[in-house]
Amino acid sequence: MRPVRFTISAREGNARAGVLSTPHGDIQTPAFVPVGTKAGVKGILPAQLETLGSQVVLANTYHLYLQPGEKLVEDSGGLGKFMGFAGPTITDSGGFQVFSLGAGFGKSFQTVREDDKNRKEEGVTLYDEDVQTQHGQLAIIDEEGVTFTSHIDGSLHRFTPERSVEIQHALGADIFFAFDECTAPDAPYEYQKEAMYRTHRWADRSLKAHRQNIEANQHQGLYGIGQGGQFADLRKESTKAIVDMGFDGFGLGGSFSKKYGESMLPLALEALVDVPEDMPRHGLGVGEPGDLLLGIAHGVDTFDCVSPTRHGRHGVLYTKRGTLNITNEKYKSDLTTLSELCLPGTLPSGSEQFTLAYVAHQFRSGEMLGPIIASLHNLAFLTRLVDGAREAIEQGTFAEYQQNFARDYYG
């Protein structure tokens, strides 16, 4: 029996409510997954996550590999015990961070091809040696894996599919992801295609490395990641290829940030028609409220994103009518409470009656409580938004739920 199993309990169109069963408990889907990058959700105690309704936490393989090292996490009993969280846990592959932190999304990474290797004897420089000393600004890709610099101290490291799997086996999360190449969103078609095929080969190697570990196979589920950038034909081809390999779940890969132009999310979602009904789907890095509901409408089951706590640390709060920046002058004396701005049943006990003026005061006076309150508020908001979507699917009212939220939030 597979360690991760998925059952669907209700449908409305392509949207579905279900149960994702893991060795550390069931996840009612759809579900928003808080990101605990370094085995801790910034500003929030693990016990508070349960109060907020968070069912599962995702941690970052790249960061935990660099600090404190996967061996310490393993010796502590695995990721959940290390961070004091009793529920299910997820780890990513480290691919996104290797390429975004190590490569600056294409600003200084290079791909080493076979013809490049053959030209070494001719004295051809494959990369600028001066660039190699720039901390966190180099990733050299070859067929076997990626050599990259640490963003912490500039030391050189190497990830291969097999090494990524080995690290994630040690971290011990219930669900983990195959190593992939996360390309720059604006990379041209030919490079996206080349990187996609390399991702497929790495996915196959990740799966083989996982299957060789009998113990891990019994306690950890492995998801493959589809790529293809901003090109519909590549997205469709990648989805089919990953699905055919026999992973436990499917991840929508790529950067869905709108700062590079239009989001690639709709293209990635359209390709989900080729994913089997009983295969769980995860939206990597999807956290914009409208994108969450769009993903749910297309049949995505779980989502992770750093946005609620990242926004919170910078004073940006989600509300029913869109976002607000608490550092703006007009909120200094605004006695509106957080409970008036949030979705029903959202905030943990004790924080409902904080006013905008109070939170603004905390930020303006440099107190750490301000970002903590804002992070709690934002995480509770997105958790409740997705929980409400699940309830709406069960009641057959999801389309209305999505429409009403979009009208109020973006209108």
pLDDT at 135 over 60: no
Other Cβ atoms less than 10 A from the Cβ of 368: the count is: 10
pTM listed for this prediction: 0.90
Please tell me the predicted confidence (pLDDT) of residue 257: 62
> pLDDT (tens digit, 9 = 90+) per residue, 211-261?
999 999 999 999 999 999 999 999 999 999 999 999 999 999 876 665 444
Please tell me the predicted confidence (pLDDT) of residue 136: 42
Residue 131: C-alpha distances to residues 29, 127, 184, 301 (Å): 45, 8, 19, 41
- Give the lowest-confidence range in 53-67, 161-175, 258-272, 318-332: 258-272
pLDDT at 3 over 60: yes
Please tell me the predicted confidence (pLDDT) of residue 350: 60
Please tell me the predicted confidence (pLDDT) of residue 100: 67
pLDDT at 121 over 60: no
Q: Per mean pLDDT, which of 76-80, 178-182, 336-340 is the most reliable? A: 76-80
State how beta strands 316-319 and 322-325 pair.
antiparallel
Annotated catalytic sites, by residue? Answer: 92, 304
Please tell me the predicted confidence (pLDDT) of residue 256: 66
The sheet with strand 57-59 has its strands ordered as: 31-34, 302-305, 281-284, 249-252, 221-226, 175-177, 89-91, 57-59
Average pLDDT, the chain: 88
Residue pointed to by tokens 């992070």: 375
pLDDT at 155 over 70: yes
CA 260/CA 280 separation, integer angstroms = 28
- Give the lowest-confidence range in 71-85, 91-105, 135-149, 351-365: 91-105
pLDDT at 119 over 60: no
- Which value, in Å, is the radius of gyration of the alpha carbons in the chain? 21
pLDDT at 385 over 90: yes
Contact (CB, 8 A) for 154 and 136: yes
pLDDT at 137 over 80: no
Region 380-400: mean pLDDT is 97
